[in-house]
Amino acid sequence: MGAVNLNNIVKRFGTFTAVEKTSMDIPEGSFTTLLGPSGCGKTTTLRMIAGLLDPTEGEIIINGKRVNDVPIHKRNLGLVFQNYALFPHKTVAENVAFGLRYRNVAKSEIARRVKEALELVQLPHLGNRYPKALSGGQQQRIALARAIVIEPDVLLLDEPLSALDANLREDMRVELKNIQARIGVTTVFVTHDQSEALAMSDQIVVMSNGRVEQVGAPQEVYNTPASEFVARFLGASNILDGRCLSRGGEGAVLEVPVFGQITVPSAKAPHLAGEGAAKLVIRAEKLLLRDSPPEGGAFSAPATVETVDYQGQSVRYFVRAGDMQLQAINMIDDRPFPAGAQVHMTLRPQDCAALPG
């Protein structure tokens, strides 16, 4: 098992910079997700850790050792790809045994470990089949078994769930996380899917345009975004441009359209230094619609429902307040508000987050 450290990594392809001066620490045994839209540099970063790409600058350290000059086949890593990448000319058992053949493992030992690995991914009876005879989900489990049977220092997962269909993806997500927790291998997971990242990770690294936007636990990244990009990329948010009037012990006082003055607790405004332009982030699910104003309701504003997107247990509303359109996702147990309804939006200050403008 090993920790991974990246020190000021840069990757350029010709004049294009894919990854810009990036540093990150991936703790031993953790499940760390590199999250971002396509082209943000997350896959490039993973491929550099794997040794499939050489960084233009900077150091890659695994287990305390600099591995920039260690070729991929000597790094002892498990790699799982989006398209499984099983060897089509080998049986499932031969696929899983592949890495052990290059590790001086005795024949009887190979058989035992292959069997164990196949049991771990719950496909003990498929050893003699060829990959083409398996479903996508089965193939991905075999690919996982093949990667972990060699007891890698680091497990690298490159969008491993993207090729599976929706239901299967959610099952595999739980199973993958369970397997990782059981063997405790340091794992780097690349995805563009925020719900995968939030559900599985110990630590999320949000990337955009080759830079790290924020590093933190899922709740931290979700509730206290460090930048407008993170706020918009994770979940559905309303972002109101306003001003910070004062920054004191009990929080930051913001003046924003629609709601007027609102005091955001300090913990939810860690990046806001003082007075000046500021942004208020309101998660769509924290903006509650009611048909009457709350009692003594300081943070309430009238609005008109424009669009109703009914989703069963919840509804997504687009409402208009003055010249602003806001988004609200509310749980309901009855009928949703119809389009055109006059409603009151309410929110609690501690559910908001403040960003520098």
Binding site for another protein (CB under 8 A): 50, 52, 71-79, 81, 83, 85-89, 98-99, 102-103, 130, 132-133, 143, 146-147, 150, 156
Backbone region of residue 288 per phi and psi (left: phi > 0; alpha: psi in -120 to 50; beta: other values) = beta
> Which CB sits closer to another protein, 77 or 305?
77
Residue type, 218: P
Contacts of residue 256, defined as CB under 8 A and 6 or more positions apart, other chains included, come to 240, 241, 242, 262, 280
Range list of H helices, 121-255 = 136-148, 166-183, 194-200, 218-223, 228-233
> Which CB sits closer to another protein, 88 or 294?
88
> Which CB sits closer to another protein, 89 or 335?
89
| Min dist. Cβ of residue 10 to another protein (A) | 21
The phi, psi pair for 185, rounded to 5°, reads: -80, 140
| Min dist. Cβ of residue 106 to another protein (A) | 16
| Min dist. Cβ of residue 146 to another protein (A) | 7
Quote the CA–CA distance of 143 and 175 in Å, as a whole number.
14
| Min dist. Cβ of residue 63 to another protein (A) | 16
> Which CB sits closer to another protein, 76 or 263?
76
User: Angle, to 10 degrees, between the axis of helix 107-120 and the axis of helix 136-148?
Assistant: 130
| Min dist. Cβ of residue 67 to another protein (A) | 13
> Which CB sits closer to another protein, 90 or 271?
90
> Which CB sits closer to another protein, 139 or 300?
139
Tokens 């563009």 -> residue: 192
| Min dist. Cβ of residue 281 to another protein (A) | 38
> Which CB sits closer to another protein, 141 or 286?
141
User: Angle, to 10 degrees, between the axis of helix 107-120 and the axis of helix 92-101?
Assistant: 130
> Which CB sits closer to another protein, 163 or 199?
163
| Min dist. Cβ of residue 76 to another protein (A) | 7
Quote the CA–CA distance of 353 and 224 in Å, as a whole number.
6
The answer to whether 227 and 70 have CB atoms below 8 angstroms apart is no
| Min dist. Cβ of residue 159 to another protein (A) | 11
Quote the CA–CA distance of 351 and 287 in Å, as a whole number.
9
Quote the CA–CA distance of 204 and 207 in Å, as a whole number.
9
Q: Fill in the DSSP letter of residue 70.
A: S
The answer to whether 303 and 247 have CB atoms below 8 angstroms apart is no
The phi, psi pair for 149, rounded to 5°, reads: -65, -25
